Amino acid sequence: MNDRNFLTFFGLKYNPFLPDIPDEAIWSHPDTQVFFIKVDYLLQRGGFALISGEPGIGKSKTLQRLAKKLSGYSDVIAGVMKRPQSKIGDFYRELGDLFGVKLSPANRYGGFKTLRERWKDHVKTTLFHPVLLVDEAQEVPEYCLNEIRILGSDHFDSHCLLTTILCGDLRLSERFKSPELASLGSRIHSRLTLQPLDRDQMAGYLDHALQESGASHLMTDDLRLVMIKHSAGNIRVLNNMASELLDIAFSREINRLDEKLFFEAFSHDKPKQRMKT
């Protein structure tokens, strides 16, 4: 499929139902505003924040929006961990890459000291704490999570050197109840627990997605209501259905999607077989 032909056919600037939408087009979840304000406070004092929730309701996109926001602050350095499941050696290597410190795997204590000095110098120079963003944080090994806690703690735990934003599913929240991670859990200053969206919120998301991509005309009102009803408050479910509908509509040369197409695509009713006489 030629992406350009696909987008032109529907009058889209981009496909709003795929994960790689532009940063500036990400929908603002209604519950994030206060959380982002709290993160701004953490930039000045350091510490931990947590984004959690069920799969498919906007956690990673919320973290992506936060990363975009932080990139607009000239004195804030923010590193995004790419491999949360790393063991301790690769964990330190990645931290070194993120914060511009050359670390030797053979001298972990030297790396520990160098990272902390790097962070201290940044706080002293800018008055802002460096930021570590970790998506899929439920995959981070226990000893790496505790390493982050100890790395960022100074002067008998009275000073924080790092602001860490952890993002993961509900397993992550449960892990902080264990004795091994209870100390870290008690240090989480700000929590954002995303819930399935209600109908008005889903309608707001869908309207935003269509408007930002330049195709408010793409779906009939009845189809919007049907899709919201069948997505159970889950953004990913809605996006998957909408993306599949677009593929089907393109193959049939239909440039406006309606509820008839939806039921043809997703009906689970199988035709009844005739009984043999």
> Helix (H, G, I), strand (E, B), or coil: what is residue 11?
coil
Distance, C-alpha 218 to centroid of its chain: 26
> Helix (H, G, I), strand (E, B), or coil: what is residue 72?
coil
Structure confidence by residue, pLDDT tens digits, 167-210: 999 999 999 999 999 999 999 999 999 999 999 999 999 999 99
pLDDT band at 1 (very low <50, low <70, confident <90, very high): low
Percent of the chain with pLDDT over 70: 95
Query: Which residues are within 8 A (CB) of 259 and not within 5 positions of it... i.e. 6 or more apart?
Result: 220, 222, 223, 226
**How much is the pLDDT for 268?**
63
The CA distance from 185 to 178, in Å, is 9
Q: Which two tokens mark 212?
A: 């930002």
The backbone torsions φ and ψ at residue 81, rounded to the nearest 5 degrees and listed phi first, read -70, 125
List of domains in the chain: 3-22+197-266 (1.10.8.60), 32-194 (3.40.50.300)
Distance, C-alpha 183 to centroid of its chain: 25
- Does residue 172 contact residue 50 with C-beta atoms inside 8 Å? yes
Please determine, for residue 61, whether its predicted confidence score (pLDDT) is greater than 90: yes
The CA distance from 159 to 137, in Å, is 24
Nearest partner of 65 among 22, 23, 14, 21, judged by Cα: 23
Q: What is the mean pLDDT of the chain?
A: 93
b/e burial code for range 11-22 (CB count within 10 A of at least 16 → b): ebebbbbeeebe
Nearest partner of 117 among 97, 100, 134, 93, judged by Cα: 100
The CA distance from 88 to 94, in Å, is 10
Please determine, for residue 269, whether its predicted confidence score (pLDDT) is greater than 90: no
Q: In sequence order, which ranges of the chain are alpha helices (DSSP H)?
A: 3-10, 32-45, 59-71, 88-98, 108-126, 142-151, 170-175, 182-185, 199-212, 221-230, 235-252, 259-266
Q: How long, in residues, is the chain? A: 277
For the chain, helix, strand, coil in percent to 5 are 50, 10, 35
pLDDT band at 31 (very low <50, low <70, confident <90, very high): confident
pTM: 0.91
